[in-house]
Amino acid sequence: MDIKYKRILLKLSGESLMGEKQYGIDEKRLNEYAEQIKEIAGLGIEIGIVIGGGNIFRGLSGAAKGFDRVKGDQMGMLATVINSLALSSALDSLGQKAHVFTATNMFPIGEHYSKWKAIDAMKRGEIAIISGGTGNPYFTTDTGSALRGIEIEADVMLKGTRVDGIYTADPEKDKTAVKFDKISYDEIYTRGLKVMDLTATTLCKENRLPIIVFDMDTNGNLKKVLTGENIGTLVY
């Protein structure tokens, strides 16, 4: 089997962990993700993961309700730690070792992140789940995953979503929307596409980290992306 990438950074949104629920974590969805991740770990791929926190708390929505923005963002970052612990637990119960890192020191909940410790863990065959975003307010986990992807020298950042790629318009709202097989970073700016926030896109562009946006909610898709099947959209 031809495997295209040796080391990847997988970004999962917090919202995708909700499954059919309105809030929090859906155990069924969590286990499906863990199964897919275990499957690709079995191919010998080194895996770093960043998970969002939007299923629990977002600083911006908190600020709209009167929370201090910085405290709200800190709550959001803590939410990513909760999600990361949940995923590591699901992986553990499948017999797949995972190691949770945190952007700020919160030992013993996780190990304080450093690039080298994360790479060591991946080389031992453990999944490095890098939580807590960037550790700073006013950023998103898309930016956190771009940053961690670059730091750990990933070959690609995989953005698992519920949509099967990048479209000319939101396919859930506009039936005439057309999917791209690939698209340049610059075209994302010029077309004003909301793939990721601009800080994340710029970080990837400046450091030449390709991104693949794909539908992670269809079982087996994660493996298909890595074995070079033409699914999702490549940003280059």
Numbered residues of the known binding site for UMP: 53, 73, 134-141
206 Cβ partners below 8 Å, 6+ apart?
none
Q: Which is nearer to ligand UDP, 62 or 232 (CB)?
A: 62
226 Cβ partners below 8 Å, 6+ apart?
3, 4, 5, 8, 40, 43, 45
| 53 near ligand UDP (CB under 6 A) | yes
Per CB under 6 A, contacts with ligand UDP among 67-86 are: 72-73, 76-77, 79-80
Q: Which is nearer to ligand UDP, 142 or 151 (CB)?
A: 142
What is the C-alpha to C-alpha distance for residues 207 and 105, in angstroms, rounded to an integer? 27
| 141 near ligand UDP (CB under 6 A) | yes
Look at the block and give the residue holding tokens 């926190």.
53
| Burial group, residue 231, by CB count within 10 angstroms (0-12, 13-18, 19+) | middle
Strands 211-215 and 233-235: antiparallel
| 137 near ligand UDP (CB under 6 A) | yes
| 157 near ligand UDP (CB under 6 A) | no
| 160 near ligand UDP (CB under 6 A) | no
**Residues at the interface with ligand UDP (CB under 6 A):** 13-15, 52-54, 58-60, 72-73, 76-77, 79-80, 133-134, 136-137, 139-142, 144
